[in-house]
Amino acid sequence: MEEQKAAEVAGESKEAVSCEREKSSIKDRMALPEPNVIKLAKESGGSALGSWVGLALMVAVVAALLVGLPMVLPVPSGMDLPHQGFAHIVAFAIAACCGILYVRVREHRLERSMGFARNDGAALCLVGAVAGVVGLMMVFALFKGAGIVSDSGISTQVSVIALALAFAGYVILALGQEVFCRGYVLTSFSARYSVAVGMVVQTVVFALFHVLLVGLSVFSVVNGVLMGVMFGLMFLKFGSIWPSVGFHSLWYFVQYVILGVTSGAQAGSYATIMTTTYDSSNVLLSGGAGGFEASALAAAVYAIAIVCLLVLKPRDADVDSIAFVNLGETVVIGAEDEDDEEEGRKSRRQARAR
């Protein structure tokens, strides 16, 4: 009898330990990770004050461009994009260049420490693209179920060149936003303070830009914050900028060009694959003039994505050999590994020659 009780106690103890380990594992996964790109950023020579000054100047410049460029910059012939789309592409391309330049000049880092460090960038970009299409189609299905959108056929008049130019434009737009908000803001502030501070700052900056793009409303702010958190988590979990670039660019391209869904901020006459009628009278569900990205239905999908990312196991990014420049010298990371690889290549060549 005593042996049976001891066995039961031992079994209960094992179950308790197993439960504790499982809880601990979930907590560890939901904690904000610190990928290698942020560890590398800590080795650079930038200062906390310099990060704030650089951020303030760049946000002011980009905000002025987002407001002013659509008034004066026409869409190039052959590039079918929503009204203001080309101006936004130019604005965020400039933002990306400013972020990279500031990182190189002030923080003495190379681009690889901004999230371009993984060797499997193409695969990660594809993963993000698939996730972006799935997420957008979830929103579209919710909108269709609520009677907010209805499609009215497929157009055969769209040229391949126009589609290619539009796709390239949205990739540049997404890349610009990701390089600036995640590649510069998140890495710099995470390195100077903490990952939590970096997440907060990049989320606020992204929400500001989001409001400038789609207009001010309750859910444009809420969704801007949710999207900032979602893209920030993608960066931290994968240690790479490419998943969020893929997600972001395909979301734009499928929404505006494939499905033909426009918002008030993006309305205009441009070529689309499908023709979609959009009823914006129910502002809460549809987002009103702000469209998908200012709707409560989209907020639900963003929240689901955030939960999925929180429980996703982090992956450490592969660090390229040259990671940053410090005090005028190029600091080589993993140089010994590269030498070993070169020796291995020579040995293999000699073996083949024999």
> Does residue 130 carry a pLDDT above 90?
yes
Residue pair 35/239 in contact by the 8 Å Cβ criterion: yes
Domain ranges, residue 107: 35-320
Ranges 104-108, 271-275, 298-302, 328-332: which has the least confidence: 328-332
CA dihedral (119, 125, 130, 131) positive or negative: positive
What per-residue confidence (pLDDT) applies to 328? 39
Query: Is residue 142 assigned to a domain?
Result: yes
> Does residue 337 carry a pLDDT above 70?
no
pLDDT in tens, 196-229: 999 999 999 999 988 887 778 888 899 999 999 9
Query: Is residue 18 assigned to a domain?
Result: no
> Does residue 175 carry a pLDDT above 50?
yes
Q: How many residues does the chain have?
A: 354
Ranges 19-23, 148-152, 349-353: which has the least confidence: 19-23
What per-residue confidence (pLDDT) applies to 197? 94
Query: Is residue 206 assigned to a domain?
Result: yes
Query: Is residue 353 assigned to a domain?
Result: no
| Closest of 258, 265, 195 to residue 232, by C-alpha | 195
Q: What percent of the chain has pLDDT over 90?
A: 25
Greater confidence (105 vs 226) lies with 226
Give CA–CA dist 287/284, Å, rounded.
6
| Count of the separate structural domains present in the chain | 1
Query: Is residue 339 assigned to a domain?
Result: no
Query: Is residue 133 assigned to a domain?
Result: yes
Query: Residue 24 contacts by C-beta under 8 Å, 6 or more apart in sequence?
Result: none
Ranges 86-95, 250-259, 299-308: which has the least confidence: 86-95
Query: Is residue 330 assigned to a domain?
Result: no
Query: Is residue 351 assigned to a domain?
Result: no
